[in-house]
Structure 1
């Protein structure tokens, strides 16, 4: 029996390899080269083999110096493994074989193909490997084993002398100054291409400000240089928060732009004759009046999350540049300011972690979730920091952490690690104990000066300095750049997916000779261990089931990351996911309070969540409490919030706005934002405002949105529930008297504006400016039935646009399909299900016949010009929360039979991705 193994989002070569290692009686690896990135991912499985006395032979080569001596050295630690090298130079032959042979009681499983032992071959490269299963006496098995043993006998044992010699040879190659360079032209990456296109698009619509949000190391400075060149700016000001960035920024610009002069403007240097000035905000805020207001046609603000500070405000308000660009890795502010507003809510690019990994903007990471056997946190209250610190400060745990650090090791010539602790006392303790054990470490806290921090960072980055680890609490969560970090130690219980993601991000910066980041997470037996999964999946999660599938697939759906949890941790996390109600007030409150703490104990606005809403989604709070302000009142219990919530008029207004979140159509919110400051709006004004958000504007949809806002499509219950904010008269929307009254209250206006701003930012991030046609539906986006009424400009009361999975408007049929088995269905013998990645079964309404009406149009949809829009969900409800449907695009009927109901096979016009197909078909 043969099968093809490729790397995809549901499985990969690595998953097959470790499955065989966990079940075989012996194994043989015969591969051209081995990197430590691959060995590190196998050492857990190899350790289990050692403990079960499963023996293995590994044959590789030194062909072209690709095999890393560190990988061979690690493999030599396993006494159950024989390791040899095929000497290509002596044999005067190339060595290209890739084979993995597993012996079982009665058979052999053999993997032959293209994968060497490297992380990229295991998961991300395009690799084809064939798995064959043959009886032991099969002639093919005998031939493969015979060929292997011929090579084995010709090969050299890897011993201490060989390793010393090979290390010397390998380092000579690595340090050689001879490098082949074909073309040193700087090219754009995914983030830069996306941002450059969006920046040009924004300017074409008359916008003169924009913000770029992307991970440290993804190329934001080069992006700004590319855009300055694209813009053809004559005079440029580049502002930074810290002087140590100036020279590298100037150098980046000089490598991209050759026809302009570059100069510094600092306390010591004022090179005013230069075309482009690179200045610190400290210097410019003291001297900005020396410059003409129109001095610069393009201004760039690095670390733009500081833009709301007084020094930046003074400078920005003084200059009248033609374009203002902000660059930041985070949009988070702790001073209550909304930095998006500074840039007119124009986000040219917002790259989240999964995007950055997918497009190689950051270094790959190897995450190991380790069952923390050294301490018991079963009944621990994670809010009691002192108690957690006391439990974690034990010698046994220090020894356990060091043991695991040595076991998994790291990439590069020196360990450069950040250890995240629970408190200052814990950080101090860890540093002292590591030093006692001969591992040079130091602890840094917010009490330490910037000069001390920078000095320590330089020591860590210096390969010749003995410092290996910096222990800290939270000062390295964000805003500090240590590109060469190759190890992150998570030494505290994860209580916030946002903090976890930020700490992980500290090590993801790309750096020369840094192949990957090693992440060791000591997962205790505390009650929130599952939060790690939320952090790692981000917005890839669909529901509880998708989380469990990801865990069982070793997170194959996350690009450029290897995520491994030991069996105890995996079991514990799966149990917690099963038992946790993610919609309960207890869970929501805990997540809210952790995010609040992350913001410096400031009550978060809706907009504050935007940068992190793949980890913590404020829509969940609205779903629970009808509006975000009502959720705040429940968890904060303040008199101020009580007063707001008890104002029935205001609550009916904010519920109406929050009810529409997350918006699937931008028209209503663009109109509402204008009406916060203007008494009325007509179709022409709305059309001009919408140009910023849409490449094409539909005037009929503007008219429909006006009617929607004036409650023309609401039933009587909805009209009682929500405040009517506008009146629709003479093709114009006018603010209602009640809305006018509410806007006189500055607190109310601020809350309304916050929800509207969040809706617009979320829409831009999800939909960009693309026109999705009519009905306005994006592939793989989530929808409910009422969304569809709005998005196809349904002209009647929208609550009537519901049915038993079948809706229609003109020549558009909308099929809403539940894959969940119905316990009491009369037609339980026949369920909606996927047959393949593009074909599925669908059962019509019980009244439909194939020879007339809608039934005839369904089964012969192409003949009658009917578009079949397909919406699918796996479960109707999860944790008592109604689930949305995922839009799979258009389908056509390819087969049908029976009447009342009709049974059909439908074929999607766009084939499902591997991961989505598995989501819909895998049963756990």
Structure 2
């Protein structure tokens, strides 16, 4: 073990147990209490430790199958690196079911033993790191889903030298327990299964079960339904005649409809759906809520014609016939309810909706997005009464949790499956054997598999089903050419266990209810986020005996792979930064987990890098969808507010000077003068990011006042808790009078792109807005709307930044942003490169895995993180200890403090664009500065100066792994 790590451990121990202000303590070595909090679960830390360790030992009393699925993903990657581990568990209280041990036997790089100690109830996780130090997580969390993701748990994470007393004690205890424990074998498992008796529920659990049974007699609205009912009633109170509810599949939309009918109390109700099977189930649900006489409920379909019923449930195919419609008066029904409302663009639906004139019409759908020009929002008068998407439903535990597993698809002779792969490879014996191996390894919840496989082609689906059946896994293929009766028969066989898998193409994306599905398999490319979520949702209905759904996605070289993390997290921002982060951090959603193997993650990363998420084609699509939703031209604030495309995507797009230019591309009837266009470009490109509120606040107050005094501006900044000093005030004026931008940009000054005239000037009376701009704001409504929109959006985006200081940890900044926020007089970002030593500050820009770096400088002289708070940094070459800029960095004031503050900005690679994460202020480690000779290939050695820099705030360990790629 190196002296550096020993020193870090000592500092971290002192910080954790004696004085938290101790310097040199690092996050990954410091003692820490681990809780299950949003974006920081116990599982997150377990996974990080596993990914970085060289060996591991788990000693846990209780294990549940639902947490083994994400664990297996990590262990599969470790197996490829030759990393093995041990799990010591128990049969205490008969908690561990036989299927737990069966799943553990499938993991090749883990040895499992069962403790014979009476009352074995430990919960500890030990990780060895390259033979030098150990990490330990010990506390209250067993290896169960709720313990690692949701429960209120206390766990202590400790790091120790392997010769430390605590580590030795724990190793000794584990060794003693391991020696007396029984090896997990097939024979042991068979005997355990034969004699296993499930534990009786505790008194509290029995009470809950009884409550559930009683609750079944009287159905009451869940939280989502209660909120939706209140919104619907409020809509009607305001005079609304129509309302749309968007809610994920399986969240109880049908019951919601029944509850709203109950609170509306119509004379007669009409429920419209597209299939008779759904219709019959809907009628049963309504009866459970509304009660009454059975003869008050009737069906109108090809097989039934009970048109006089008070509550009439009709198929659109029958109801839309002119002869059938003519039998009803236009005001026959007080309340009309449209299920799967996104289908209402069809002529049959339009005919029915045009004919009837109910007092209120409600539409329900899980997917309002359309691929045609029909606007479901317009149909319902733009009254979106309630919206609850998949991620919200999972957080609220309204759906069955899933474990998504993204793994690499089968490779044949080095070739990966892609869109052009021929059938003989898509449905080969070798690929199916590989698929079955993965399906068995990751498993499912329950006693038998009820699987749904999605393929891309009909011939592939048929051949996959044939091969599965031939290999002992009964399956049948279904497509759009199969009749409803054929599909229903196949579903019945799946539910009864006669089939293990339904292999589908082009169907079962929506409108089908098979609660027993416990394994969803994707053997096709992801064509759209909508279809992906629809297919994922097929397994999310809750069912007896189903604790979770295993979703296994075979990821080939598909161009749309980038959609996967976006669809899973519901991210619609079109931000590559967000997409990369979601892929790398693999967030949890409620009790659901997202997991990618390293190879699959790399494939998706490549497609994220390749795709232009801000391409105009994508932005046009997003614009049309939001316009349909709002019923008017959307503004940037609308995109930001409604969780859609990040407004910054429009601002950062090099093809768009501002949002006005985008509206022109959308063929909207808008006109601005050249100067108005230039001013709008300035506020969009320079201020919309919200990184500093000062300019936005001043421009906003100048909308209402002719002049704002310096004292009034200072008071305004104080009210908004913004930092304020003379340098910042001077910088704000330099931005707004454009002097900051009077630098070369090709053959002209940057300031000329913004009109060349000051936006704001300062005189004895105070700040005042350019008179031409003020006149345009008064006379030109469009310019005023677009100008105010940028200010409002910028202030909304500013909420994610700390207003008390120039930079916010782990937010992203470009070199130009840094020049501005450091209050530099000019934008000198073009020649800035790796660093620039200013009078009081020096920003350091580190690209951790720079492309072609070996050609630029010796591999031995790359900037490198030692740990989460310590980085070895090198100057440019040639530089000596006596060089001016080095002496500036080392200069101290009368109190012995460094005159120049160092700010570290970092990104993983150049492929991630111009933005750098702000890692914080750092200080030069005493005694670490030295001059070295850097050997470049085929060149003479050149002098550089190296030094160790210590971050004031150590990086979060997960962020450290994300930025450095270290394992």
Instruction: Give the TM-score normalised by structure 2.
Output: 0.61
Q: Unaligned stretches of 5+ in structure 1?
A: 597-602, 635-643, 665-714, 719-727, 736-755, 760-766, 768-772, 784-801, 807-817, 834-872, 886-913
Among 420, 426, 441, the alignment partner of 2:454 is: 420
- In 1, the alpha carbon distance for the partners of 2:655 and 2:792 equals 33
State the partner residue of 1:549.
Answer: 581
1:113 aligns with 2:113: no
Distance (Å, rounded) in 1 between the aligned partners of 2:228 and 2:160:
53
Contact 2:574 2:613 in 1 (8 A): no
Displacement after TM superposition at 1:455 (Å): 1.2
Partner of 2:122: 97
Residue aligning to 1:216: 249
1:561 is the counterpart of 2:595: no
User: Is the Cα–Cα contact under 8 Å of residues 580 and 605 in structure 2 kept in the other structure?
Assistant: yes
Distance 2:756 2:226 in 1: 48
Q: Does 1:202 align with 2:228?
A: no
Q: What does residue 69 of structure 1 align with? A: 98
**Separation in 2, partners of 1:124, 1:358:** 10
For the pair 1:492 / 2:520, whether they are aligned, the reply is no
| Distance apart, 1:219 and its partner CA | 0.7
1:829 equivalent in alignment to 2:844: no
1:514 aligns with 2:546: yes
- Of 316, 338, 345, 2:353 maps to 316
- Provide the secondary structure at the position in 2 that maps to 1:539: coil
Does the CA-based 8 Å contact 1:434-1:441 persist in structure 2? yes
Q: Which residue of 2 aligns with 1:348?
A: 385
2: CA distance, partners of 1:343 / 1:248:
25
CA displacement, residues 333-390 of structure 1 (integer Å, 9 cap, x when unaligned):
56643222221111112333332332223322222222234247979984x5xx5545
| Structure 2 residues not aligned, in runs of 5+ | 1-12, 14-30, 632-638, 685-753, 758-774, 802-816, 822-828, 846-904, 918-954
Whether the 8 Å CA contact 2:245–2:387 is kept in 1: the answer is: yes
Residue by residue over 1:753-781, the C-alpha shift from the partner in whole angstroms, topping out at 9 and shown as x without a partner, is: xxx9xx9xxxxxxx9xxxxx999965777
Alignment RMSD (CA, Å): 5.5
SS at match of 1:101: strand
Deviation at residue 495 of structure 1 after TM alignment: 4.7
Whole-angstrom distance in 1 between the partners of 2:584 and 2:964: 12
Shift of 1:306: 2.8
Q: For residues 561-597 of structure 1, what are the alpha-carbon distances to aligned partners after superposition, in whole Å with 9 as ceiling and x for unaligned?
A: 3222222232343344345543456xx57x98xx89x
On the 8 A contact 1:365/1:516 being kept in 2, the answer is yes
Q: What is the Cα deviation at residue 109 of structure 1?
A: 2.8
2:241–2:359 Cα contact (<8 Å) kept: yes
**1:111, CA displacement in angstroms?**
1.4
SS of the equivalent of 1:216 reads coil
Indicate the structure (1 or 2) with the bigger Cα radius of gyration: 2
Going from structure 1 to structure 2, the CA distance change for 1:717 and 1:135 (only over 3 Å counts) comes to closer
In the alignment, which residue of structure 2 is the partner of 1:366?
A: 403
Which residue in 2 is equivalent to 1:33?
62
The 5-angstrom pairing of residues 164-243 of structure 1 reads 164=190, 166-167=192-193, 180-182=209-211, 184-185=214-215, 186-243=219-276
Structure 1 range deviating more: 137-146 or 193-202: 137-146
Task: Measure, in 2, the Cα distance between the counterparts of 1:717 and 1:152.
Answer: 77
Change (3 A) 1:333 1:100: closer
Tell me if 1:442 matches 2:476. Answer: yes
Q: Which residue of 1 aligns with 2:437?
A: 403
- Find the aligned partners of 1:431 and 1:78 in 2 and give their Cα distance: 27
Deviations 1:126-182 (A, max 9, x none): 332111223445444455456556766776654445534544666877999998312
Partners of 1:300 and 1:324 within 8 A in 2: yes
Quote the Cα distance in structure 2 between the aligned partners of 1:573 and 1:58: 32
Is 1:277–2:302 an aligned residue pair? no
- Secondary structure of the structure 2 residue equivalent to 1:520: strand
Match of 1:574 among 582, 590, 605: 605
Deviation larger for 317-326 or 3-12 = 3-12
* Deviation by residue 1:792-830 (Cα, 9 ceiling, x = unmatched): xxxxxxxxxx99979xxxxxxxxxxx9x99955846716
Contact 2:160 2:167 in 1 (8 A): yes
1:732–1:540 CA distance, 2 compared to 1 (3 A): closer
Does the 8 Å CA contact 2:255/2:285 hold for their aligned counterparts? Answer: yes
How much does 1:468 deviate?
A: 1.6
Report the counterpart of residue 330 of structure 1 in structure 2: 367
CA contact (8 A) 1:367 1:521 kept: yes
2:556 aligned to 504, 524, 536, which one?
Answer: 524
Deviations 1:858-891 (A, max 9, x none): xxxxxxxxxxxxxxx999xx99999999xxxxxx
In the TM superposition, 1:772-787 aligns within 5 A as: none
Given that 2:566 and 2:572 are in contact with CA atoms closer than 8 Å, whether structure 1 keeps it comes out as no
In the TM superposition, 1:526-675 aligns within 5 A as 526=558, 528-539=560-571, 543-553=575-585, 555-556=586-587, 558-578=589-609, 580-583=611-614, 588=617, 650=669, 652=671
Distance across 1 between alignment mates of 2:615 and 2:435: 35
Deviation at 1:192, TM superposition (A): 1.8
TM-score between both structures, scaled by the size of structure 1: 0.63
Q: Matched residue of 2:210: which SS?
A: coil
Structure 1: how far apart are the matches of 2:913 and 2:615?
A: 10
